[in-house]
Chains A and B, each alone.
Chain A
């Protein structure tokens, strides 16, 4: 029952503390009274008895303290007391407190937001069964040149995947998915809709450990070319089918073919991204020839490692199979090796580098924030030297003083942390929306772990910012303050040195941030100014894709395309209209290998030439104002049934026809049986993506009538191109009401969109850098003002002895500029190393770009001079009489 008594005691001591204190006083008073009574009984007078009793009793305050120290919750009481003192002393200097709290709120808020994003994107395991043992497998080209182009993780060919699956034993299972999209139409005139789709092997969902929410997942027998099973994701199920479970077993129209809904995926399943609306089987709709081919790279392979096998040995097995395939297909683009990465890395491949950069930037910002608060605290510590000395003299231990100051700093950081978390709630939402390509963007939210992180941050920040000032402002040396006369000349040397050191570090880190931001900004400006090689002004693009089912013949495809072009060209305000499979700036599109008929056969072992493929109508080049270098553009005669023709770009001509005229030569398309195309023209290069070098490209006539999954109608208009989007869509709907359009964008929007992420990271780093600059200059100003106050008497003496005001101005100015210049030098030197790390994020900008360094140096010096000028000017305005009279 002792624990019960103890518990009762604990509760009593927690809630009845005031009463207990009164009782203790009463108990001690009773003791004293008895002592006095005893003394009186021994024959003393009342007065004598009282003094004697008090003498034996000792220091009542001390006794009370010692007794209270045995009570429960004593630590809590001490903490509360420190906190109370802290709040009181912070409220005495509201200016200081508000600035410090605001600084901390900004820094902690930024860090928390970024951590939230990093956690959901890079750290949180995907919600699959045992995700730690799952990897993505890719074909890996060893040549460094290929790696630079992103071919180190190349999607596998379906045939490679099947061989890996059957011929290796290191994995429990291997599944694959491919990209697809469908035109979803309704039976009762519902709006047609282009839905993003994926084709997954039948074992994909069991391998991931994802059950169907309704119905079932795919069967092995459904993973065939002619299969027509489909699974819906939850969002489509809810949105388009009203969440009615009876949809399972019914049929829906995809590209005008009937597919049977076998199941609905769970709501949380958003892999590989949340836009996917339907899943079909991997082989569904893919010609058997394509599945057996080793150079059609479209499979994303997911594999689950066997528990008793190491990743290295499992990869070794797959690598051996792949090398054999490479040796069997020497001329085809079949990689020599395989590479693996985790599912998280796979999803975050585009964002992990910028995220890491931002994490570093925010760490710098946090460090600067802490240094700044530390600096402010040192200044306060100097102003409170007397208080510390008196408290020490009255018996406060050094630990107590340090604890009190740390508590104060912790209070600042706590208040800042609360503000920061509130800030980050807003900032995280904004970041998740503004940052395209961020996987699992909808899962990014502040939760317990994030709050824990923020709390940890608060304590670390409090320690970093508070410990140094607290230690430096306590200790033996402070007693000297009591001894020295109140008129000190020159101030406390050690705290001045400390503050200047803190300031130098702060400025150095700021310089690093500024330079990184400058480089990223310059990259962005360069990217923004990139010339795609065609006009981007007043051009609207509208995407559509003709379903195979209804547009099975070249005649039907051509009829639709040509009628559409005619009608659009007839619209008022349209300058030109053209069709292209992939307009410049929208990505790599497709590519194909070819040989040149007139050239000798390739030496064994050399890779077959490869070029990007584009289909265009005759007016495409003139509409987009791409220039012809030699030969001719397509004409209306370059169509199905006529001699096959191809137009190549300058890059292809220079690479594969060095020193010869490519016109009249023939390209043999390996993938096509009778694919010999005569080169009729050479056009200038266009960029398939901003920031990427031009690649060899082959243009074919769209009038060949093949069924290309996607086409873009590019329309050049006289005025605002977006105003034309509705009339153009009406023309398409008039021709085929079942045909959905997508990606209705201007060329400027396309270029802008592809730069969204660069612009975002450049903007954020720049914001951090500017914030740091502001913090650093405030720090500089603070230090100098403080020094000025400390030296008022000295300056007064100098003035009285005949110093010129200009001299004083220079004196203070250079005193302040010294840490700035030192920090600038240190920061520039450090940047030279640090910026090498972001080399891969730079475009057309060297890490040691002299312009950026010069701009940063000038900016920093200007801001620093400005920050120093005010205290320096005030020093030169001093009235010597006033200065000498101040204490």
Chain B
């Protein structure tokens, strides 16, 4: 992903929120998880990931806590806030509606 445009940026936010849904994670793990789950299709560059994380944190959708990571080093763990959880549901519904609509158009051809 290069310079994120609006759609991509919105999507990245959604992906981050979704990834953080089950448990708190640090930035590196979030990137890795998205990569793995998407079957290596989506590779999130640091240049997009960290600005997005910090923006979501400033907006109050996610919160951060410093804790010991699996390697024993202190790392910044992000987790969803209550508001972030609500936002995720809303965004998911939006996404479902949008992708259904796109599917409809693509299916027509």
Contact = CB atoms under 8 A, between A and B. Distances in A.
Contacts of A37: 71
A17 to B, nearest CB: 13
Interface string A57-79: 11000110011111110000000
Interface stretch (A5-13, A504-512, A784-792): A5-13
B36 interface: no
Given A34-B28, A66-B47, A1 B55 contact: no
Interface in B47-63: 47, 50-52, 54-55, 57-61, 63
Interface string B17-44: 0000000001110000000000000000
Given A2-B83, A30-B73, A71 B28 contact: no
Interface in A1-46: 1-3, 5-6, 9, 13, 23-24, 26-28, 30-31, 33-35, 37
B57 A9 contact: yes
Contact of B50 (A2, A27, A33): A27
A68 B58 CA distance: 11
A30 B71 CA distance: 10
A6 B47 contact: no
Given A34-B28, A72-B58, A5 B47 contact: no
A555 to B, nearest CB: 98
A318 to B, nearest CB: 67
B60 A66 contact: no
B58 A28 contact: no
Contact of B51 (A27, A30, A69): A69
Contact of B45 (A13, A58, A68): A58
B75 A6 contact: no
Contact of A1 (B28, B75, B83): B83
| A interface SS class | helix
Given A9-B57, A63-B46, A71-B58, A31 B27 contact: yes
B46 A71 contact: no
Nearest to B59: A6
B81 A5 contact: yes
Contacts of A33: 73
A321 B59 CA distance: 73
A2 B73 contact: no
Contacts of A26: 74, 76
A24 B50 CA distance: 9
A37 B71 CA distance: 10
A1 B82 contact: yes
Contact of A31 (B46, B54, B57, B81): B46
Contacts of B54: 24, 67-68, 70-71
A30 B63 CA distance: 18
Contacts of A9: 57-58, 60
B45 to A, nearest CB: 7
A57 B82 contact: no
Contact of A63 (B28, B47, B74): B47
Nearest to B45: A58
Interface string B66-97: 10010101111000011100000000000000
Nearest to A3: B60
Interface string A227-252: 00000000000000000000000000
Contacts of A56: 46
Interface bracket on B: 20 to 34
A27 to B, nearest CB: 5
A37 B72 CA distance: 13
A42 to B, nearest CB: 14
Nearest to B61: A2
Contacts of B63: 5
A1 B87 CA distance: 13
Contacts of A72: 58
B58 A6 contact: yes
B71 to A, nearest CB: 7
A63 B71 CA distance: 24
Which of A3, A28, A56, A63 has the largest count of B CB atoms less than 10 A from its CB? A63
A57 B46 contact: yes
Contacts of A2: 60-61, 81, 83
A563 B27 CA distance: 109
Nearest to B26: A30
B60 A5 contact: yes
Given A5-B60, A31-B27, A66 B51 contact: yes
Contacts of B28: 30-31, 34-35
Contacts of B47: 58, 62-63, 66
Contacts of A66: 47, 50-51
Which of A1, A27, A33 has the largest count of B CB atoms less than 10 A from its CB? A27
Contacts of B71: 34, 37
Nearest to B84: A2
B75 A30 contact: yes
A357 to B, nearest CB: 55
Nearest to B86: A2
Contact of A13 (B27, B58, B59): B58
Nearest to A27: B76
Contacts of B50: 24, 27-28, 31, 63, 66-67
Contacts of B82: 1
Contact of A27 (B45, B61, B75, B83): B75
Contacts of B57: 9
B55 A70 contact: yes
A77 B60 CA distance: 21
Contacts of A13: 58
A72 B74 CA distance: 25
B30 to A, nearest CB: 10
A62 B48 CA distance: 11
A342 to B, nearest CB: 54
B65 to A, nearest CB: 11
Contacts of A57: 46
Nearest to B66: A23
B23 to A, nearest CB: 18
Contacts of A30: 26-28, 69, 73-76
Which of B50, B73, B74, B83 has the largest count of A CB atoms less than 10 A from its CB? B50
A1 B55 CA distance: 18
Nearest to A20: B54
A410 B20 CA distance: 46
A222 B42 CA distance: 96
A664 B18 CA distance: 118
A23 B57 CA distance: 14
B46 A23 contact: no
A556 to B, nearest CB: 93
Contact of A67 (B26, B51, B61): B51
A2 B62 CA distance: 10
Contacts of A31: 27-28, 46, 50
Nearest to B73: A30
A71 B64 CA distance: 14
Contacts of A1: 82-83
A58 B46 contact: yes
12 contacts: A13-B58, A27-B50, A28-B46, A28-B50, A30-B26, A31-B46, A35-B28, A58-B47, A62-B47, A66-B47, A69-B51, A72-B58
Given A30-B26, A31-B46, A31-B50, 19 more contacts: A5-B63, A5-B81, A5-B83, A6-B60, A13-B58, A26-B74, A26-B76, A27-B50, A28-B46, A30-B73, A30-B76, A34-B71, A35-B28, A57-B46, A58-B46, A63-B50, A66-B51, A68-B54, A71-B58
Cβ-closest 9 pairs across A and B? A2-B83, A5-B60, A70-B55, A6-B60, A34-B28, A2-B60, A67-B50, A70-B54, A27-B76
Interface of A: 1-3, 5-6, 9, 13, 23-24, 26-28, 30-31, 33-35, 37, 56-58, 62-63, 66-72
